[in-house]
Amino acid sequence: MAVGLEEAAEALDEITRVLLVVVLELAEDAVQDAFATALDRWPRTGVPDNPGAWIVTTARNRAIDQVRREHVLADKTALLARLESLPEDAAEVNALPDERLALLFTCCHPALAVDVVEVAALTETVRGEGGFGSSGLR
């Protein structure tokens, strides 16, 4: 069992080093960007009351934005890969029997008045036509 714990400790150490480098690079880029923004903005708006806190807040927000952008890019890349696997023939794509999306857009058209009776009718329509059970709509 000591060999397993030793290997686990080594693996954890290696992964920590790799992640630390990635996180450190992200932090360095965010701080550099915050200072560049300060150099651009502060001459026009003046130095804030607490410049250190401004730099930290701006750097943290930039790092969070970068991580979010990377996640969005990964999601969109996966969607594009799935899109490439779809059939190219438009007739084949349109031949899908599912009309629930068209029904949903039709029912949500702004020209329809929002009335309690109409909402109840809409709910029943979506339950019946859309294939949703009573637990699917609230």
Number of helices and strands in the chain (H, E): 5, 0
Whole-Å CA distances, 88 to 92, 95, 96: 8, 12, 14
Give residue 1's pLDDT: 40
pLDDT in tens, 3-50: 566 766 777 677 777 767 778 888 889 999 999 999 999 999 999 999
Same domain flag for 23 and 79: yes
More confident residue, 69 or 91: 69
From the list 109, 132, 107, the residue with the least C-alpha distance to 121 is 107
Same domain flag for 15 and 36: yes
Same domain flag for 59 and 105: no
Looking at the 3D structure of the chain, how many domains does it have? 2
Rounded to 5 degrees, φ, ψ at 78 are: -65, -40
Same domain flag for 104 and 85: no
Same domain flag for 84 and 18: yes
Give residue 81's pLDDT: 84
User: What H or E segment, with its residue span, contains residue 26?
Assistant: helix 2-45
The parent domain of residue 59 ranges over 2-89
pLDDT in tens, 48-89: 999 898 888 999 899 889 989 999 999 889 888 887 777 666
pTM: 0.52
Same domain flag for 83 and 34: yes
